[in-house]
């Protein structure tokens, strides 16, 4: 398997909600500057797994983890979780801009991280909006509420908002599932451009999306106890054309899920 250096490395990772084991011994290496898709049936722990990397699961009471997760070789669970989230950004399933102006949405991250200079904030906002391919559409009404935009535009503002804190990894939790096909395509194009500078991990329900928009694909399933586990992981092309496991083949050919 040819890949760049591993940006994120997961070793024998398990996650429990109280007594329930939601993820069982996951081992995976996520390469830098590539798009890694996570696919699998509903309830297999894809989103929970994604939220490991910015430790959003820590917000849920009763969650316990086992195993090791490394970012650039450093233990993720040893870092300050607030600090970590500056380096690992996230885009959510439903566009969730704050009820603030477009400018304030994008400037929010830099501001909470201590940047107050108006000129500097302006530069960051413009750069982020350009990078998220939405600058031309909103440059004349940065003062307008972000909630007044269309769903696809809102999602790109949310991507710009994530880019504004200059993360290294961007997690995307079904970022296009609430959007129409054209908006979806724009988001996919955007993700392709972003991988030059960022490591992207994307959870998707849509297998065509995984097939056309990702470099590596991880397929998750659940066992008899409804615990999620990793079935197969590899370059997207080989996983889709030549799956090594029967379950993978059944899933990608649409026999279940």
Partner 1 sequence: MAREASIRQIGVRLSGGAQKSNIAQRHVIQQLAFALMWLAAILTVVVLLLVVGYVLVEGARVVDWEFLATPPRGGLSAEGGISTTLVTTVYLVLLTAAIAAPLGIGAAIYLVEYAGEGQGTSGLTAFLVSVARFGVELLAGVPSIIFGLFGYALFVVTLNALTGGFSLLSASLAGACLVLPVIIRASEEALRAVPRAYREGSLALGATKWQTIWQVVLPAAAPGIITGIVLSVGRIVSETAVFFVTLGGSHHAPQSIKQGGRTMALHVYYLAMDTRAFEKAMGTGAILIVTIVMINLAINLISRRLTAGLKGR
Question: Is residue 29 close enough to count as binding partner 1 by CB under 8 A?
Answer: no
Out of 90, 125, 207, 211, the residue judged to bind partner 1 by CB under 8 A:
90
H or E segment to which residue 218 belongs: strand 216-222
SS3 readout for 91-145: ECCCCCCCCCEHHHHHHHHHHHCCCCCHHHHHHHHHHHHHHCCCHHHHHHHCCCE
Query: Cβ distance 202 to 191 under 8 Å?
Result: yes
Measured from the CB atom, is 53 or 219 closer to partner 1? 53
DSSP assigned state of 56: G
Give yes or no for residue 98 binding partner 1 (CB under 8 A).
Answer: yes
User: Least separation, in Å, of the C-beta of 146 and partner 1?
Assistant: 7
- Residue 181 lies near partner 1 (rule: CB under 8 A): no
Q: How far is the CB of 188 from partner 1 (least distance, A)?
A: 21
- Looking only at residues 105 through 164 of this chain, which bind partner 1 when binding is defined by CB under 8 A? 108-109, 111-113, 144-148, 158, 161-162
Nearer to partner 1, 108 or 229 (CB): 108
With CB under 8 A as the contact rule, which of the stretches 66-74, 76-84, 207-215, 226-234 interacts with partner 1?
A: 76-84
Residue 215: name the closest of 52, 90, 42, 32 by CA: 32
Nearer to partner 1, 159 or 221 (CB): 159
| Cβ-based nearer residue to partner 1, 21 or 57 | 57
Q: Are 223 and 41 in contact (CB under 8 A)?
A: no
**Is 249:243 a contact under the CB 8 Å cutoff?**
yes
Task: State which residue, 61 or 78, has the beta carbon closest to partner 1.
Answer: 61
Q: Which residues are CB-neighbours of 5 under 8 A, at least 6 positions away?
A: 31, 32
Segment contacting partner 1 by CB under 8 A, of 90-98, 120-128, 227-235, 237-245:
90-98
Q: Work out the number of other CB atoms within 10 angstroms of the CB of residue 32.
A: 16
Q: Alpha carbon 23 to chain centroid distance?
A: 18
Q: In this chain, which of 19, 83, 118, 224 binds partner 1, going by CB under 8 A?
A: 83
* Dihedral over Cα of 164, 36, 208, 172: its sign: negative
The residue among 80 and 196 lying less far from partner 1, judged by its C-beta, is 80
Is 64 among the residues that bind partner 1 (CB under 8 A)?
Answer: no
3-state secondary structure of 221: strand
Q: Which is nearer to partner 1, 6 or 79 (CB)?
A: 79
Residues that bind partner 1 (CB under 8 A): 54, 56, 59-62, 82-86, 89-90, 92, 94, 96-100, 108-109, 111-113, 144-148, 158, 161-162, 165
């Amino acid at each position: 398997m040819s890949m760049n250096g591993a940006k994120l490395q997961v070793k024998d990772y398990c996650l429990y909600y109280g007594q329930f084991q939601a993820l069982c011994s996951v081992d995976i290496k996520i390469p830098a500057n590539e798009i890694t898709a996570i696919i699998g049936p509903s309830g297999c722990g894809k989103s929970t797994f994604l939220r490991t990397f910015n430790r959003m699961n820590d917000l849920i009471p009763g969650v316990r983890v086992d195993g090791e997760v490394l970012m650039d070789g450093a233990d993720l669970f040893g870092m300050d979780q607030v600090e970590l989230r500056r380096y690992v950004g996230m885009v959510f399933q439903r566009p969730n801009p704050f009820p603030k102006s477009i400018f304030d949405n994008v400037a929010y991250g830099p501001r909470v991280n201590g940047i107050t200079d108006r000129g500097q904030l302006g530069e960051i906002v413009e750069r982020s909006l350009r990078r998220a391919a939405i600058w031309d559409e909103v440059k004349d009404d940065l003062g307008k509420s972000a909630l007044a935009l269309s769903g696809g535009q809102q999602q790109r503002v949310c991507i710009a908002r994530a880019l504004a804190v200059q993360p290294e990894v961007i997690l995307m939790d079904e970022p296009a599932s609430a959007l129409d096909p054209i908006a979806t395509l724009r988001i996919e194009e955007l993700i392709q451009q972003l991988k030059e500078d960022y490591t992207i991990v994307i959870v998707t329900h849509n297998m065509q999306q995984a097939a056309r928009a990702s470099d590596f694909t991880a397929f998750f399933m659940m066992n008899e106890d409804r615990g999620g586990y990793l079935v197969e992981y590899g370059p997207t092309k080989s996983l889709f054309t030549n799956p090594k496991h029967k379950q993978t083949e059944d899933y990608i050919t649409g026999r279940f899920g």
